[in-house]
Amino acid sequence: MANTEALYLDDASLRELTTEVLSSQSITSLSEEEKSLAKNIPTEDIALTMRQTIFYAQGGGQPSDTGAIGPTGQDATFSVSLVRKTPDGRYLHFGKYVDATPFTAGQLVVQKIDDSKRNYHSRLHTAGHIVGLAMQLLMPDRKKVKANHFPNEASMEYKGLLYNEDKPVIQEKVNELVRQDLKILISWSEGGADGEEGRSHDGRTRIASIGGLDYNPCGGTHVPRTGLVGSIVIRKISRQKGISRVSYDVSPEVER
Ligand SMILES: [Zn+2]
């Protein structure tokens, strides 16, 4: 089975791409493992794979892109509601045809992703890195255990106890990092096993860094500079079973 090349890993600015269809199949015809990735998708939907993709596949705490795909030179005829990456590197674009003939293998199609959703998800995800860097600078011994960058539930979790008094301190450091408008740098290092998190591909691991100050294996999409995230609000600090959660949010719209 041919693999998909994920172009967003090297160029997160792509919003439209012409590429070739590899397969268009019913969800019922997928392997059991692949079906398990489509849990909340109607069974009459279709799984589409293509040579390349600009769609972010859900993982690493970041939601999937949505968008539309159509034959070249025509309106979009396939709406994409979810994209998942299989363990063997296929990118399944789940969705449905809108009164249209299914694509055939080898056909050229145009992918378009929902731009405002991608920008919002990238800002939320990048904000997680900024909160993480603030924590690293303020409390270098704290071990991060979990990250979630979904809308309305974005948070970073740390081993040990944090208190409400820590909130304004973290907020101040986060504001400073946004004000500094630091570059988000993406690089690749050798090694690392391919995983669901999407950090590693073909024996290389993708590294995201804020201005060279930190070093995080990451498969997500980012905005190019911290200033583009806009204001980040540290919503609350909560504790459970020795783990502290720092909840944060960004505005759904970019402030100008
Ligand atoms: Zn990231």
| Residues 157 and 63 placed together within one structural domain of the fold | no
| Contact by Cβ (8 Å): 88, 104 | no
Residue 209 CA to ligand 1 center (angstroms) comes to 8
Digit-coded pLDDT (tens) for 239-255: 999 999 999 999 887 65
Residue 98 CA to ligand 1 center (angstroms) comes to 34
Cross-sheet strand order for the sheet of 144-148: 144-148, 155-159, 243-250, 232-240
Nearest to 48 by CA among 21, 70, 28: 21
- β partners of residue 113: 67
Q: By residue range, what is the domain housing residue 137?
A: 118-250
Residue 50 CA to ligand 1 center (angstroms) comes to 24
pLDDT for 190 equals 81
Residue 196 pLDDT greater than 60, yes or no = no
| Residues 104 and 151 placed together within one structural domain of the fold | no
Q: How far apart are the C-alpha atoms of 165 and 170, rounded to whole Å? A: 9
Indicate the pLDDT class of residue 191, thresholds 50, 70 and 90.
confident
| Residues 246 and 122 placed together within one structural domain of the fold | yes
Percentage of residues in the chain with pLDDT exceeding 90? 85
Is residue 78 in a domain? yes
What predicted TM-score, i.e. pTM, was given to this entire model? Answer: 0.92
For residues 104-109, give the mean pLDDT. 97
Residue 129 CA to ligand 1 center (angstroms) comes to 6
Residue 218 CA to ligand 1 center (angstroms) comes to 5
Digit-coded pLDDT (tens) for 124-175: 999 999 999 999 999 999 999 999 999 999 999 999 999 999 999 999 999 9
Residue 145 CA to ligand 1 center (angstroms) comes to 15
Nearest to 125 by CA among 249, 31, 256: 249
| Residues 137 and 201 placed together within one structural domain of the fold | yes
Is residue 256 in a domain? no
**CATH value at residue 184:** 3.30.980.10
Residue 208 CB partners (closer than 8 Å, separation 6+): 129, 184, 185, 186, 216, 217, 218, 220, 222
For residues 12-31, give the mean pLDDT. 96
pLDDT for 175 equals 98
Residue 125 CA to ligand 1 center (angstroms) comes to 6
pLDDT for 255 equals 55
| Residues 166 and 49 placed together within one structural domain of the fold | no
Between 26 and 203, the more confident residue is: 26
Residue 221 CA to ligand 1 center (angstroms) comes to 6
Indicate the pLDDT class of residue 40, thresholds 50, 70 and 90.
confident
| Residues 21 and 87 placed together within one structural domain of the fold | yes
Is residue 175 in a domain? yes
Residue 93 pLDDT greater than 90, yes or no = yes
Residue 214 pLDDT greater than 80, yes or no = yes
Indicate the pLDDT class of residue 203, thresholds 50, 70 and 90.
confident
| Residues 127 and 238 placed together within one structural domain of the fold | yes
| Residues 89 and 144 placed together within one structural domain of the fold | no
Residue 127 CA to ligand 1 center (angstroms) comes to 9
Angle between the N-to-C axes of helices 166-179 and 115-138, in degrees from 0 to 180, rounded to the nearest 10 = 120
Residue 85 CA to ligand 1 center (angstroms) comes to 17
Residue 238 CA to ligand 1 center (angstroms) comes to 23
Residue 52 CA to ligand 1 center (angstroms) comes to 21
Distance between alpha carbon 179 and the CA centroid of its chain, in Å? Answer: 24
Indicate the pLDDT class of residue 194, thresholds 50, 70 and 90.
low
pLDDT for 2 equals 64
Residue where a domain stops, chosen among 61, 83, 113: 113
Is residue 255 in a domain? no
Residue 39 CA to ligand 1 center (angstroms) comes to 25
Residue where a domain stops, chosen among 53, 88, 113: 113
| Residues 227 and 127 placed together within one structural domain of the fold | yes
Instruction: Say how many domains are in the chain.
Output: 2
Lowest mean pLDDT among 64-73, 107-116, 196-205, 224-233: 196-205
Residue 195: phi and psi, rounded to 5, are: -145, 170
Indicate the pLDDT class of residue 1, thresholds 50, 70 and 90.
low
Residue 200 CA to ligand 1 center (angstroms) comes to 13
For residues 227-234, give the mean pLDDT. 97
pLDDT for 197 equals 52
Residue where a domain stops, chosen among 75, 92, 113: 113
Residue 222 CA to ligand 1 center (angstroms) comes to 6
| Residues 145 and 25 placed together within one structural domain of the fold | no
Q: How far apart are the C-alpha atoms of 130 and 135, rounded to whole Å? A: 9
pLDDT for 6 equals 93
Residue 225 CA to ligand 1 center (angstroms) comes to 12
Residue 77 CA to ligand 1 center (angstroms) comes to 32
Residue 220 CA to ligand 1 center (angstroms) comes to 5
